[in-house]
Chains A and B, each alone.
Chain A
Amino acid sequence: MFAITPNTLSTFLNSISKYIVLLMILLLGFSAILIILLENDYYQGVSFKILFIHVPAAWLSLLIFSTMGISSIIGLVFKSPTSFTISRAISPIGLIMSIIVLVTGSIWGNLTWGTYWVWDARLTSMLILSFIYLGHILLLYSFDHFQKADFAASILAIIGLVNLPIVKFSVDWWTTLHQGSTVFRVGGPSITSDYLITLLVSFFALFLLCIYWFSNIFYIIIENRKIERSKLLNQ
């Protein structure tokens, strides 16, 4: 499984990318219709609609981070260039997702709680997550050679992967100890089935968008490396 070269993965992703785009457009349209329909049902104000971007993006940012960490571990253990390239291509997407979560979350928070930012457990841990993403990307571009950068960044990704659950726990304890009374809940009704379906559909739409995006970034990285290598050997 670890013997897949970056080239074969790149051609495979290229070959399926048109189906991904088709499915993604279908799902995006479907979820848009569902969201509009839902809005007619609930009169909670326009603000709650943001949930269908906010929650899928939050799930995705965590999913991408664990993918990044695991592929870094595989890369370090099995010395697989494919895993390194995967984590290199995936981390900008993760950063964008976590920024989307923070921005939509603070807009939503301003509309419902009247403030953009609270030092709450979830908010803090998401902020830390986006900091680690930022560090990962900066580390990737702070070395002369991509192999050294891959090693350094994968070490950071592993540190982050180990630390993130701990950050989560410690922040939870901290908030329960200090501001137990101000722990907030999402207002409105509990999740009904049509709510859940809309959430899942929009999650998969966003997920496919990420995969499409990932395959493009992956392709660009591989092609750039081919060009650099051929230049190098023909000097």
Chain B
Amino acid sequence: MIKNFLKLVKNEFTLMLRGSVFTIVLYSLLLIAASIFSLALRHVSFDIEIAIAFLWVIIFFISLIKVEKVYATDFSESKLQQYILSPFALEIVVFLKNIMIYFNLLFLFIIFSPIILIILGIQLSYLLPINILLALSLLSIIFISSMTASITISKNNKLSITSVLTLPLFIPILIVSMALTDVVDFQLNKMYLFFVAYFLLNLAFSPLLTSFALKKLSV
């Protein structure tokens, strides 16, 4: 069982690598959006908060799109049938896929981040804090997106707008990320504990709910 699990992890990793072309396309879109944003506001002097808020909102959408794309292809009906009848619980597969999406998005963001910060006019001293913030919050974002994606990709679903409607659920992350950027010293405070607690909560709930939704709605 453990041997097969390790094989599974290895193959999921390969799948993640092959899927990174799509992530690169998404980050290129982010670059274009950032260019338009700063070009339009070139005569206005604005706070760093606005640029970071813009960046964060775009990253929300990128992770939503990425998670939905991966779920739509990797949990298509015939694949899902095999996953359900396999000795591995569907929760494990969901968890693995989420973690792989996380690494994929995070590593590519680290590569892209200097360019994005320069385009948005944010000082490069913010590079490390922003990357650490993203590393902390992206896991929760992806786990929440996976829950909404599992509802949205269902073939029984007539409206595909549910992922937009669950966007309010991301607001805690957005707000805390914004608050953290104000902390100039960048030291450990209770906000980080909040992040960790929020992530653990998502870790406990979301694979369960996601796999439940997949089993009930998509087969």
Q: Classify A-B as touching or not with yes or no (CB < 8 A).
A: yes
Q: Residues on A close to B: CB < 8 A?
A: 76, 124, 127-128, 131-132, 134-135, 138-139, 142-145, 148, 151-152, 155-156, 158-160, 162-163, 166-167, 169-171, 173-174, 177-178
Residues of A within 8 A of B116 (CB): none
Q: Are B165 and A135 in contact (CB under 8 A)?
A: yes
Among candidates A76, A131, A143, residue contacting B165 with C-beta atoms closer than 8 Å: A131
Contacts known (A152-B151, A155-B147); A166 close to B198, Cβ less than 8 A: yes
In the complex, besides A143-B158, A159-B147, A163-B169, 18 extra interface pairs with C-beta distance below 8 angstroms are A128-B171, A138-B159, A138-B162, A139-B151, A144-B158, A151-B212, A151-B213, A155-B213, A156-B166, A158-B205, A158-B209, A159-B166, A159-B209, A166-B198, A166-B201, A167-B172, A173-B179, A174-B179
How many positions in chain B have a CB within 8 Å of any CB in the partner chain?
A: 32
From residue B186, how far is it (CB to closest CB) to chain A in Å?
15
The 5 nearest A-B residue pairs measured at CB: A135-B165, A170-B172, A142-B159, A128-B168, A174-B175
From residue B150, how far is it (CB to closest CB) to chain A in Å?
8
From residue A99, how far is it (CB to closest CB) to chain B in Å?
15
Residue interface mask B166-196, A partner, CB < 8 A = 1: 1111011001101100100000000100100
Among candidates B158, B182, B191, B216, residue contacting A151 with C-beta atoms closer than 8 Å: B216
Chain B stretch 104-145: residues in CB contact (< 8 A) with chain A: 144
Q: Are B209 and A155 in contact (CB under 8 A)?
A: yes
Q: Are A167 and B205 in contact (CB under 8 A)?
A: no
Residues of B within 8 A of A131 (CB): 165, 167-168
Q: Are A162 and B158 in contact (CB under 8 A)?
A: no
The complex places the Cα of A124 from the Cα of B168 at a distance, in Å, of 10
Q: Which of B157, B168, B191 is the most central at the interface, judged by chain A CB atoms within 10 Å of its CB?
A: B168
Interface of A is mostly: helix
The complex places the Cα of A171 from the Cα of B144 at a distance, in Å, of 19
Contacts known (A135-B166, A160-B169); A171 close to B156, Cβ less than 8 A: no
The complex places the Cα of A209 from the Cα of B168 at a distance, in Å, of 29
The complex places the Cα of A134 from the Cα of B159 at a distance, in Å, of 13
Contacts known (A139-B151, A170-B176, A174-B175); A152 close to B213, Cβ less than 8 A: yes
B25, CB-defined interface residue at 8 Å: no
Among candidates B168, B179, B217, residue contacting A148 with C-beta atoms closer than 8 Å: B217
The complex places the Cα of A212 from the Cα of B162 at a distance, in Å, of 30
B1, CB-defined interface residue at 8 Å: no
Q: Are B171 and A142 in contact (CB under 8 A)?
A: no
Residues of B within 8 A of A160 (CB): 169
Q: Are B151 and A170 in contact (CB under 8 A)?
A: no
Residues of B within 8 A of A124 (CB): 171
The complex places the Cα of A178 from the Cα of B182 at a distance, in Å, of 9
B6, CB-defined interface residue at 8 Å: no
Q: Are B168 and A132 in contact (CB under 8 A)?
A: yes
Residues of A within 8 A of B179 (CB): 173-174, 177-178
Residues of B within 8 A of A158 (CB): 205, 209
From residue A119, how far is it (CB to closest CB) to chain B in Å?
11
Q: Are A177 and B182 in contact (CB under 8 A)?
A: yes
Q: Are B159 and A167 in contact (CB under 8 A)?
A: no
B154, CB-defined interface residue at 8 Å: yes
